[in-house]
Amino acid sequence: MSKSFLSVYIVLVGMALGVELCAGAFVAPIIFFPSGYLGEGVLTHFQSGILMTQVFLKSNMLLGLVAFYGIIFEVIAWITKQNKDVLSLSLSFSGFILTVLFLFYYTPFIVDAQRALTTESEAFFKMHKESELVMKSLMMVQLVLMFRRVWLIGQKA
């Protein structure tokens, strides 16, 4: 594995972290509480949810790319014994699983619930909370992975 592939990997993980942080910490509070910016009665909570879902659908493309690139990078590094690291491989695998869960389990459930107008159900609240936990776990995995890979570069220098 060349240093350029590793550099791209670290940048992609950093970008994913930035998008996740931005969506959760900056975009969501504005979308779900628009009255502070637009006045009362402009958007319902349901409409805000539709908008936020669109933000996540767009960011899911990047998350999928990062997870796919990461698992391929780590497996090739492991097989070729270059940049071989058990922790990085484990973190990448965990990140891949969490990403797949978010993209192909939680996101479709939320989209389907919005289409069916069942976002006030107990099942929806449970799944939404679980999706938040998956996203937070993914962010922690990515953060540790990014710092681990940067630390390993420092060890070789």
pLDDT at 44: 93
pLDDT grade for 157, boundaries at 50, 70 and 90:
low
In tens, the pLDDT along 104-121 reads 999 999 999 999 999 999
SS3 157: coil
Cβ atoms of 78 and 84 closer than 8 Å: yes
Report CA-CA distances (Å) from 153 to 83, 98, 135, 150: 9, 26, 27, 5
Fill in the DSSP letter of residue 33: -
> Has residue 8 got a pLDDT over 80?
yes
Mean pLDDT of the chain: 94
- Please state the domain count of the chain: 1
Domain interval for residue 111? 3-156
Report the 10 Å Cβ neighbour count for 4.
Answer: 8
pLDDT at 54: 96
Of 31 and 154, the structure prediction assigns the larger pLDDT to 31
Q: What are the residue ranges of helices labelled H in 40-85?
A: 45-79
